Amino acid sequence: MGGTAPGSLRVLCVSRDGSAAAGVAAMLASVPDFVIATRTAGYREALRGARNLDLAIVLLDDDPSAGLDVIEKLRRGSSATHLVAVAPDDDPDTIVRTVRAGADEQLALPLSQHDLFKVCIKVAEAYRDDAGRGEVWVIHGPKGGVGATTVAVNLAVALQAARREVALLDLDVYSGDAAFFLNVQPTNTLRDVVASYERLDAVLVEGATMRLPSGLSILASPGTGRGEPPLEPTMEQAIDVLELVSGMHDLTVVNTPRILSAATRAALLGADRILLVTDLTVPALRSCARTVDWLAGEGIDTAKTVEVVVNRYNARSSAEISIADVARMMRSPVRASLPCDDAAALAAANAGRPLADDTPLQRAIAEIVSPGRPPAETGRIKRARATVFQ
């Protein structure tokens, strides 16, 4: 495809004299979450601007013959361009003729911005499918209270600063606070996606995902306090959501509940990289060790996929259990030892914002962005799906 990145599209709008196409171009300019470079043309000039296109929108007249001829020529010129015919109505004969001409779909007037938004998502999804799925990093604290959400949120912030497209998916439907840590109040959450699972697609997920000014996207958990019981995704639902979210982003950071729920298991089995968060207390270390044993029993190569993050590390008060002891116990490398910086963590949590820049804890989390080993093989989500249905 012609676009250079997901969310960046090259579009040609065509109408008989170009004036109606300008109206469509104006609507595209205000479609959220996309950077769209739009050109307009009349029927005669359409082919001149048809190189390196992601999307071409051709407006048909009451007599669609001339517009259909443009679609045929555009299709012959590029099989990769997504072609959309816009007709005055839903006449079945016109629909058949547009398909025969090579259009990928037909819309009817009057066009809405939502119609164009859905088309842009389809085109971006096709680009991402061609480019491959993004990585999935799962942050899991098997023992509650070890700061896993703090790590997940601030790691996602650091990754967004270093990468192109990052999403934070909060699967903790019991007490997920990732949105609070980012000082946002999303209108839609994971609950809305799961409740509408029968019509799950990229449009539904994109509509429930909130994009922050930094560019980071978050699909938030509803958490508690809404007077509704948690709506726990099934393993299949979690896998499907992960596939869609990771297909829309270069990297997806997943925050999980501490329990091995169906959604947690789906995320762990589908992860390219697992960061187990612990402190140096015996109960937390035992919980991590049990999780590593479970992953090994599920066929995960824990030595390559699992890394341990020791939070609240204080060398002076941690003499009884060393970092080397942790690595031996887990049979997985210790990726980071995050300094005990309760003042910075509490200040950020109470204010509902990420850690302040350049604090010791923020710097230590940001260093996790650069892997200490070659990245794990991608595409494990589909293998997790196979595990579910075996």
H helices, E strands: number in the chain: 16, 13
Who's near 278: CB < 8 A, 6+ residues apart?
Answer: 141, 142, 143, 146, 284, 285, 287, 288, 308, 309, 310, 311, 326
What was the pLDDT predicted at 49? Answer: 64
Q: Do 355 and 149 form a contact (C-beta atoms < 8 A)?
A: no
What was the pLDDT predicted at 227? Answer: 62
CA distances, 96 to each of 93, 102, 103 (Å): 5, 10, 10
Full-model pTM: 0.69
CA distances, 322 to each of 10, 141, 198, 327, 367 (Å): 54, 19, 49, 9, 21
Q: Which of 377, 349, 345, 350 is nearest to 362 (CA)?
A: 345
3-state secondary structure 52-65: CCCEEEEECCCCCH
Beta strands 210-211 and 217-219: pairing type?
antiparallel
Q: Which of 136, 172, 171, 141 is nearest to 156 (CA)?
A: 136
Q: Do 279 and 286 form a contact (C-beta atoms < 8 A)?
A: no
Q: Which of 338, 286, 330, 281 is nearest to 313 (CA)?
A: 338
From first to last of the 390 residues of the chain, give the pLDDT tens digit.
Answer: 433 344 678 899 999 988 999 999 999 988 887 888 899 999 999 988 677 788 999 999 999 999 999 999 999 888 889 999 999 998 889 999 999 999 999 999 999 988 999 899 888 877 665 555 789 999 999 998 888 999 999 999 999 988 778 999 999 988 888 998 898 888 889 999 999 998 888 888 888 999 998 889 999 998 655 566 778 899 999 999 998 899 888 899 999 999 999 999 999 999 999 999 998 888 999 999 999 999 998 888 888 899 999 988 877 665 577 778 888 888 788 888 888 877 887 788 777 788 878 788 888 888 888 755 434 444 555 545 444 433
What was the pLDDT predicted at 88? Answer: 94
Q: Do 277 and 309 form a contact (C-beta atoms < 8 A)?
A: yes
Beta strands 105-108 and 217-219: pairing type?
unpaired
What was the pLDDT predicted at 336? Answer: 84
Beta strands 306-313 and 210-211: pairing type?
unpaired
Query: Could you give the residue ranges of the DSSP H alpha helices within the chain?
Result: 19-29, 65-77, 92-101, 113-131, 148-162, 178-181, 190-195, 202-208, 235-248, 262-270, 282-297, 302-305, 323-330, 342-351, 360-366, 380-389
- CA–CA separation, 59 vs 22, rounded Å? 11
What was the pLDDT predicted at 11? Answer: 93
Q: Which domains does the chain have, with CATH numbers?
A: 8-130 (3.40.50.2300), 133-389 (3.40.50.300)
CA distances, 65 to each of 16, 76, 279, 281 (Å): 11, 17, 70, 75
Q: Which of 190, 377, 160, 147 is nearest to 278 (CA)?
A: 147
